Structure 1
Amino acid sequence: MSGPRGERERPVEGAGLTQPLIATKLYVPRQRRGLVARPRLVERLESGAEARLILVSAPAGFGKTTVLAAWLHEVTVSPRCVAWLSLDTADNEPSTFWTYVLTALQRAVPSLGARGLLELLAATPVPSELLLTTLLNELGAVPEDVWLVLDDYHLVGDPGVGQGVAFLLEHLPPNVHVVLSTRADPDLPLARWRARRELVEIRAKDLRFTSAEIAVYLDEASGNELTPGDVEVLEERTEGWIAALQLAALSLQGRADVNGFITRFAGDDRYIVDYLIEEVLTQQPAAVRDFLMQSAVLDRLTGPLCDAVTGRQDGTEMLPALERANLFLVALDDRREWYRYHHLFADVLRARMLSDHPDQLPLLHQRASQWCEDHDLTEDAVTHALAARDFDRAAHLIERAVPAIRRHRQEAVMYGWLQALPDDTLRRSPVLSVFYGDLLMHSGDLVAVGPRLDDAERALAAVPDGEAPPWPDTEELRTLPATIAIYRASLAQARGDTAATAEHAQRALHLAGPDDHLARGGAAGFLGLAAWAEGDVRSALETFAQAVASLHAAGNLLDELSSTIPLADMWCASGRPSKARRLYARALSAVESGGDAFARAAAGLHVGLSELDAQVGDLESAKRHLDAAAALADRAGMNEGRFRWFVARALVARADGEPEAAIAFLDQAVELYRPGFSPEVRPITAIKARIWIAQGNLAEAADWARDRGVSVTDDASYVREFDHLTLVRLVLARCRAHQDTTSLVQAATLLDRLGGSARTAQRAGSLLEIRLLQALVQDAQGRRARALDTLVHALELAPEPEGYLRLFLDEGAAMVSLLRDVKPDGPGGHQARRLASVGAAVEAAGATNTVKGITYKATESLSDRELQVLRLLDSELTGPQIARELFVSHNTVRTHTQHIFTKLAVTNRRSAVLLARERGLI
């Protein structure tokens, strides 16, 4: 058990931060001399033992921190573990905030597995629900009550922090309580918790000093005996505001005319603080007054840092003296090494410094920046450099911090710094220009990216040959030309300029060194994406495989696994969804073993699997994957793939007979969509149009076609293929609605062009859909026999037609009718019969284009022998026993078993049996 006095200070390492943790922020402040006992507040705080949250909310100067510290020092209830965290503005970033929270909890509860949790947190800016759930489970197992106190919570306004705190509070185990001290109410469901009696609130009206408390405090603090009338005046004018009373007590010390001072004090409230600060400062010796104002530029003070800033040598002695004099100094540790000023006092000191000595402020901040840099406090060093308006120094510091920022994914920190730099400073730094362009690209501002890359190239070109560059010699600078070419390829890809994408990617390959695997992987990746955008899936797969190999050689496992998503899309386009499923399953196994660092990649993989499941009718599995993705997704980060979750959810909703819900999900996807690395081969608006067509809402679909500028006379193009196939469906729907077949001829001609392109590029997935629509068009033209021949041809040529269940079902009764008429004992008859049976179930269910409660999952066909082995795997027999049962060798059984695992996309016997049962194979 650890109480408010806790353990002695020890070194604290920051996981995922660019500088060590400040241990002094984790101490409960010590009680000051002359503290007024306030049992009513202690009792109120103690009542929080049954609440999930104690909220201490009041304006500055109402003694929130003092009350909490006094409570924790006075209580004798045992056992109790207290984790204290004093927040400041530097904590307004998710990874920093949660690293401190986890460290504070581990100091209070040494048995807590914070080290493992910190390692999970280190690779992602915002903690996932998995991390917080793990933390909650561990806290729930602690036998003692655990109190987490977050002091000055108003200084942390990041939405990602707020979401995590809300999740933590919503799921607290009964032995854990959170205390928030804040100047403003947090964005939390306070009303709900209040109604449930799960919230204890202490507000300004509770914290104000009563008349009796004012009398006790002023008698001791000022050294003067005050009349009841004097106390009444001070109470009226200050309304029990403790900061003002503290200032009044300081001003009263040594005064003969106490009544006269109090009369003057009872002036205009707007000037009370200015008046009292003037009284306090003017009564201090010049050396103390100068020290106060100069050191006020610091958020945290220690003797050596104060000496560096003030140019004096008395910081170590001055700080304890100021504390003893009650000059609004708060000790942050038991050793009296680190302090901070009361926030209100610091604000006033800074305002006075700005008014009286504005010319000194840049120098003070420069000195603070240099000291922080020398002591590896990078973030503080940058902050002071920016405050000094020494932008060249700030840029230099940021350039050196780039590797750590990228490694720990603190994009939010970097973005804030770059936003604070003047534009001309950014333009002079090629590394920062490129990094800023990358952040802008991820935010969707494509227009602003190109000029930033131009700035970087101009800055590099301005360095004469043979001269050393004026920037830090980092790996980022050395590989910058290739990096710029990759970003230009990325920008061209996002704009749909395939030729430029390939051109810039080739240039990146030329510029990258043989061992620059990261650049070579990025370049090869964009070459593959360019080939994909052109519809050349075979070349895309080959080139993208090279990119994955380079990422593997670079040791970039996260990007290597994330590349599974576009690679799987390519395999689907080539007609091999089972291959895509195996890739997803293998990658998901790897990211799940990698922990929370791979949460975002895992979310994308779950979304991809949900799309495959929806396509084969396994809606329950699709929903499970989407739920898993939602639990893992980084909602606060810049993630170009966020929109895809909503697309997948829409596909499930449509398959589940909920078209209106599907449209709503797609509307959300449109809002989130940003042009990204992958070509837009499945436009969201075209997916909406297909739903409208299925609903019979042809007017909306016609508006879509007009807005997209799509026509049946267009040339074949892979990036427009999805649009064109949607348009053919619109033509078919109009024909059925109005009995007008005149436009079918042009639709058939368009399908011929699309089919020729897909056949040449060996896009079997595309060709299957084109053939289905050709069959429907021919049937609508009254050429039933030709339609059946086309359908049979499609079923014969497609590698895995059973993997495209929804593709057939979404065409409704017309497609089911054709499937029924395929000769069962002829070519394609087996596949047609199975597809038609599911279609019949749709009709029996009475729902349009949906099957509820029916699972139809495609796999590569198992041979008769493999089915025999699979049935025996669903028994107690060992491998050798199965071999004897089948009269084959054990090695032969192993070979069959491996083939089964591959075709079912599983890795072990138990999973194979469970999946086989689920699919009705055994």
Structure 2
Amino acid sequence: MVRRARLAERLDPGAGRRLTVVAAPAGYGKTTLLGTWAGTRERVGWLTLDERDNDPTRFLSSLIGALRQGSGEGELGQGVLAALRSPDVRHPDALIGALVNELARRPSTVDVVLDDYHVITGDAVHRVCAFLVERAPEQLHVVLSGRVDPPLPLARWRVRNELVRLGAADLAFTASEAAAFVRDVMRLDLPRPDLMRLHEKTEGWAAGLQIAALSLRGCANSAGFVESFSGRHRDVFDFLGEEVLDRQPADARRFLVETSILDHLSGPLCDAVTGRSDGQETLERLERENLFVVALDDERRWYRYHHLFADFLRARLGPERGELHVRASRWCEANGALPDAIGHAIAAADHDRAVDLIQRGTDDAWSRGEVPTVLGWIEALPADVVRDQPTLVLQQALALALTGKPDRAERLAASVGCEESVPAGFSAAVRSWCARLRGDLPSAIDLARQALALLPADRGGLRVFAADSLGDALWSLGDLPAAETALADAAAIGRDAGHVYGTLSALTLLARVQSERGRLGRAHATLLRAERYVLQQDMEASSATAAIHLGLAALRYERDDLDAAEEAFRTGVESAERTGNVTDLTWGLVGLSRLEHARHRTDAALGTAARAERVARDYGANPEAVVAAAWMVRLRLRRSELPEAAAAEQTLARHTEAGTPGAEIPGRLATARLLHARGRSRDALDQLRPLRDAAQTADRGRDLLEILVLQALAHAQASMPDEAAATLADAFGRAAPEHYVRTFVDEGPALAALLPRVPGSEELRAAFARQAAPPQAALVEPMTDRESDVLRLLAVGKNNREIAAELFVSVGTVKTHLNNLYRKLGAHSRTQAVARARALNLPSISTFR
């Protein structure tokens, strides 16, 4: 190695540095420089990119692997990795945001090198990288290395002094570095004049120096060679052929050319492609001879060619190219590398083989959530080949639907002939999904049922897709008994087919339907069943577990286990944030807001509720907007903010008028609550009577309980004590077997005053007694005003640098305040400090929105 201290100093991150870019043409020693520098750093993660990393799922997975490698923390990004396996994931920004937040909570710093970034051409990955750099915590230093400047906002970061760039002029070898390279690395004893001339001719280009030195071995006239050597790329390619490749033995030349089709080389794979048996020995020899072979692991099992050299070798390939790719495809298939097998089949233009492999590989890919990869495989085939394969057309349509392109997906699905049952059923399932995305629930139901009728029992992976769509649409329409039946069937279909995500989706939605029917015990059993299934599949950190956590949180809250409920709500919300699942996220935030209000953190509850409204609005999710607005009405009324409650009630009224699924009962309940708050109890009762009948008819047990409790309060307000007691007794009789608590306690003291007339309500009275005044903060030592400011910013996720900037102090001062906070709160981390402050209801946290 050539030590290049002048460059290593510039690579070391300075204060405020987010990014280092190393951009230069091939062969300028970028990787070698960074490798040498990395050896001097304490924590470095390294990711060498290739074209397949244009898939955001693969890129994020590999990035987390590199960060784990560098930080030494094997659990880092575990939740994000699980989210990436979900076929529902559509929001990479949400995932990278969750990863950034996790990094910010860890004390140790880490450098991460993304090498060969020039192979990234997809906008999605560029957006992910821009997001990562823009929001990088002070613990993270990103290094991008490639042949060209990445298409990122470099100018903005340079103006902010957040970027350092090393280009070709920086990386070019100085004369002394070139001399050290030729003498110490290439083991050549050239006269000084020849060294200086070679440096001049190559302009310090490391690959040119290496090429020249390889050819100079055994050359009698070094001065003549150096004088004739050209540093232009065209001349270098000519030279590679005439002076490097052609000087190798015939079997080595053949090996190099034939294996150039491989991005990564191993001995067995090379043997399969070349038909030889000395692949490992040849690779080791080529590496020893510095023949543009780079080892990718310490065990010397995998290698790659220098990219420039590989490009040159591939240009020497003739008609045998296709057969070589076919051999590589067969080896990859036999060794479990089906994605690589597909890539080689496509490169070989062996369309029959590619189609067969894709059809075999898509089920597993859907299960892993690699939807962009599947779409890339199919769209790499000629259009006429895809058109001749109805299953491929439908796979393409499914991928388009799952990536949020329902119009194109529906056109493709509708183009498939319906003469056979499986393609017809697959098409109907895809169109059902598209109808759900458009909000056309009747069509979604009809199409899902059509798909289930057409698809045979042995196509469980497709049937669960249709069954989930059916159950979801029925639930959205409010037909809870039919939805419960459909989702139970979907869970069974998914389990029998081994389709993990389809099964979990069905089970978690089934539990939600059972809760809405008032069957808390059955919902709890379903969620525990889902938990066991997750453990059996070794997918504890799966993104699909967000709904499990939130379902269990809601049940624990209803039964007044607030500590366990808060932990589960926060875990579920974090998971939903990673996946960008608007339904789970909205429900989770509303549940968390209810809990915060129950714990007298009233301002925090309002902030969380407002966030739930923003999430639903930003996603354009009307059913979720109904959930958020209905809770906002109740919260505003509890805060005695009638004008704001009325505004939220009008939002619900607009959704009801527009026919938003699930809006009618919450809207009318909100109206009744507002009438009751204004003292118009008889008008409220007029609203509630038909609503009670509708809830009973629809078997909406949870809504019915709320209606009965509100009726009891309105009767009491209207001086009708007997009616109030009878109605409350009816509600209690329905609720007691399922152990409802918070549905009653959350109505406050007015309801507590009615309980003495209800037999058997002692448990509820005890729960009301526990709902006492807010706990008082108890610290071993009072916080200073500045420590309160730091805690407030800590609670909203600011890192040390951001806190320092906002408070106009140094990062060192922030760290001092943090250490004092940890001591006073009895905490050992940021997360513990915030949790402890919340438990103590400290003002810095309770006013956080």
Smaller-chain TM-score range?
0.5 to 0.7
Of the two, which has the highest radius of gyration?
Answer: 1
Report the counterpart of residue 438 of structure 1 in structure 2.
Answer: 398
* Residue in structure 2 matching 1:721, options 647, 664, 667: 664
Task: Verify the 8 A CA contact 1:611 1:651 in the aligned structure 2.
Answer: no
| Structure 2 CA distance for aligned equivalents of residues 635 and 772 of structure 1 | 37
Report the counterpart of residue 568 of structure 2 in structure 1.
Answer: 625
Please identify, of 241-250 and 148-157, the stretch whose mean Cα deviation from structure 2 is larger.
Answer: 148-157
Report the counterpart of residue 805 of structure 1 in structure 2.
Answer: 742
* Residue in structure 1 matching 2:719, options 785, 789, 799: 785
Quote the offset at 1:99 in angstroms: 9.4
Residue 329 of structure 1 pairs with residue 264 of structure 2 = no
Corresponding letter in the other structure for 2:362? V
| Structure 2 CA distance for aligned equivalents of residues 231 and 317 of structure 1 | 33
Quote the offset at 1:427 in angstroms: 3.9
Residue 761 of structure 1 pairs with residue 761 of structure 2 = no
Report the counterpart of residue 193 of structure 1 in structure 2.
Answer: none
Q: 1:833 to 1:620 in 2, by over 3 A?
A: closer
Quote the offset at 1:281 in angstroms: 3.0
Report the counterpart of residue 340 of structure 1 in structure 2.
Answer: 304
Corresponding letter in the other structure for 2:310? A
Quote the offset at 1:325 in angstroms: 6.7
| Structure 1 CA distance for aligned equivalents of residues 731 and 706 of structure 2 | 12
Report the counterpart of residue 770 of structure 1 in structure 2.
Answer: 707
| Structure 2 CA distance for aligned equivalents of residues 692 and 259 of structure 1 | 89
| Structure 2 CA distance for aligned equivalents of residues 530 and 219 of structure 1 | 73
Report the counterpart of residue 595 of structure 1 in structure 2.
Answer: 538
Corresponding letter in the other structure for 2:691? L
| Structure 2 CA distance for aligned equivalents of residues 429 and 674 of structure 1 | 35
Could you list the per-position Cα deviations for residues 783-833 of structure 1 after superposition, in whole angstroms to 9, with x for gaps in the alignment?
7035872574155145227736367746xxxx744x36x655434794898
Could you list the per-position Cα deviations for residues 451-479 of structure 1 after superposition, in whole angstroms to 9, with x for gaps in the alignment?
23223445858xxxxxxxxxxxxxxxxx5
Residue 383 of structure 1 pairs with residue 343 of structure 2 = yes
RMSD of aligned C-alpha atoms?
A: 6.3
Residue 570 of structure 1 pairs with residue 513 of structure 2 = yes
Report the counterpart of residue 237 of structure 2 in structure 1.
Answer: 277
| Structure 1 CA distance for aligned equivalents of residues 594 and 383 of structure 2 | 44
* Residue in structure 2 matching 1:244, options 189, 195, 208: 208
Q: 1:359 to 1:400 in 2, by over 3 A?
A: same
Structure 1 residues 579-590: aligned runs within 5 Å? 579-588=522-531
Task: Verify the 8 A CA contact 1:610 1:622 in the aligned structure 2.
Answer: yes
* Residue in structure 2 matching 1:455, options 415, 428, 445: 415
Task: Verify the 8 A CA contact 1:159 1:636 in the aligned structure 2.
Answer: no
* Residue in structure 2 matching 1:511, options 440, 454, 458: 454
| Partner SS for 2:304 | strand
Could you list the per-position Cα deviations for residues 363-384 of structure 1 after superposition, in whole angstroms to 9, with x for gaps in the alignment?
8756755665576643233223
Report the counterpart of residue 802 of structure 2 in structure 1.
Answer: none
| Partner SS for 1:697 | helix
Task: Verify the 8 A CA contact 2:609 2:631 in the aligned structure 1.
Answer: no
* Residue in structure 2 matching 1:704, options 626, 630, 651: 651
Structure 1 residues 105-124: aligned runs within 5 Å? 124=85
Structure 1 residues 859-878: aligned runs within 5 Å? none
Task: Verify the 8 A CA contact 1:331 1:340 in the aligned structure 2.
Answer: yes
Could you list the per-position Cα deviations for residues 40-93 of structure 1 after superposition, in whole angstroms to 9, with x for gaps in the alignment?
699999x99xxxx999966443435556888999x9xxxx99999866444676
Could you list the per-position Cα deviations for residues 113-169 of structure 1 after superposition, in whole angstroms to 9, with x for gaps in the alignment?
99xx9xx9899479999xx9xxx9xxxxxxxxx999997688689699989999xx9
Q: How many residues of Structure 1 are paired with residues of Structure 2 in the alignment?
A: 722
Percent identity over the alignment is: 32
Quote the offset at 1:624 in angstroms: 0.6
* Residue in structure 2 matching 1:662, options 606, 609, 621: 609
* Residue in structure 1 matching 2:549, options 603, 606, 623: 606
| Structure 2 CA distance for aligned equivalents of residues 637 and 372 of structure 1 | 34
Please identify, of 211-220 and 89-98, the stretch whose mean Cα deviation from structure 2 is larger.
Answer: 89-98
Quote the offset at 1:343 in angstroms: 1.9
Corresponding letter in the other structure for 1:507? Q
Report the counterpart of residue 61 of structure 1 in structure 2.
Answer: 27
| Structure 2 CA distance for aligned equivalents of residues 62 and 852 of structure 1 | 64
| Partner SS for 2:603 | coil
| Structure 1 CA distance for aligned equivalents of residues 763 and 296 of structure 2 | 75
Could you list the per-position Cα deviations for residues 359-414 of structure 1 after superposition, in whole angstroms to 9, with x for gaps in the alignment?
99778756755665576643233223444566565333211222432455443432
Corresponding letter in the other structure for 1:627? R
Residue 401 of structure 1 pairs with residue 361 of structure 2 = yes
Structure 1 residues 119-134: aligned runs within 5 Å? 124=85
Residue 834 of structure 1 pairs with residue 765 of structure 2 = yes
| Structure 2 CA distance for aligned equivalents of residues 791 and 832 of structure 1 | 17
Q: 1:619 to 1:375 in 2, by over 3 A?
A: closer
Structure 1 residues 197-212: aligned runs within 5 Å? 209-212=173-176
Corresponding letter in the other structure for 1:280? L
Task: Verify the 8 A CA contact 2:629 2:648 in the aligned structure 1.
Answer: no
Task: Verify the 8 A CA contact 2:82 2:542 in the aligned structure 1.
Answer: no
Residue 300 of structure 1 pairs with residue 264 of structure 2 = yes
Structure 1 residues 284-295: aligned runs within 5 Å? none
Corresponding letter in the other structure for 2:607? E
Q: 1:611 to 1:160 in 2, by over 3 A?
A: farther
| Partner SS for 1:340 | strand
Corresponding letter in the other structure for 1:785? S
Task: Verify the 8 A CA contact 2:111 2:143 in the aligned structure 1.
Answer: no
Quote the offset at 1:242 in angstroms: 1.6
Quote the offset at 1:310 in angstroms: 9.0
| Partner SS for 2:757 | coil
Quote the offset at 1:180 in angstroms: 8.2
Report the counterpart of residue 20 of structure 1 in structure 2.
Answer: none
Quote the offset at 1:570 in angstroms: 1.9
Task: Verify the 8 A CA contact 1:574 1:764 in the aligned structure 2.
Answer: yes
| Structure 2 CA distance for aligned equivalents of residues 593 and 338 of structure 1 | 34
| Structure 1 CA distance for aligned equivalents of residues 510 and 500 of structure 2 | 15
| Structure 2 CA distance for aligned equivalents of residues 718 and 285 of structure 1 | 70
Task: Verify the 8 A CA contact 1:646 1:665 in the aligned structure 2.
Answer: yes
Quote the offset at 1:569 in angstroms: 1.9
| Structure 2 CA distance for aligned equivalents of residues 369 and 343 of structure 1 | 21
Corresponding letter in the other structure for 2:609? A
Task: Verify the 8 A CA contact 1:428 1:455 in the aligned structure 2.
Answer: no
Task: Verify the 8 A CA contact 2:672 2:685 in the aligned structure 1.
Answer: no
Could you list the per-position Cα deviations for residues 839-861 of structure 1 after superposition, in whole angstroms to 9, with x for gaps in the alignment?
984xxx5xxxxx6799xxxxxxx
Quote the offset at 1:342 in angstroms: 0.8
| Structure 2 CA distance for aligned equivalents of residues 832 and 319 of structure 1 | 76
Ranges in structure 2 where 5+ consecutive residues have no aligned partner: 104-109, 153-163, 778-849
| Structure 2 CA distance for aligned equivalents of residues 517 and 295 of structure 1 | 41
Quote the offset at 1:606 in angstroms: 0.8
Report the counterpart of residue 178 of structure 2 in structure 1.
Answer: 214
Quote the offset at 1:771 in angstroms: 3.9
Corresponding letter in the other structure for 1:455? S
Task: Verify the 8 A CA contact 1:564 1:583 in the aligned structure 2.
Answer: yes
Task: Verify the 8 A CA contact 1:824 1:832 in the aligned structure 2.
Answer: no
| Partner SS for 1:563 | helix
Q: 1:558 to 1:303 in 2, by over 3 A?
A: closer
Quote the offset at 1:764 in angstroms: 2.4
Report the counterpart of residue 414 of structure 1 in structure 2.
Answer: 374
| Partner SS for 1:599 | coil
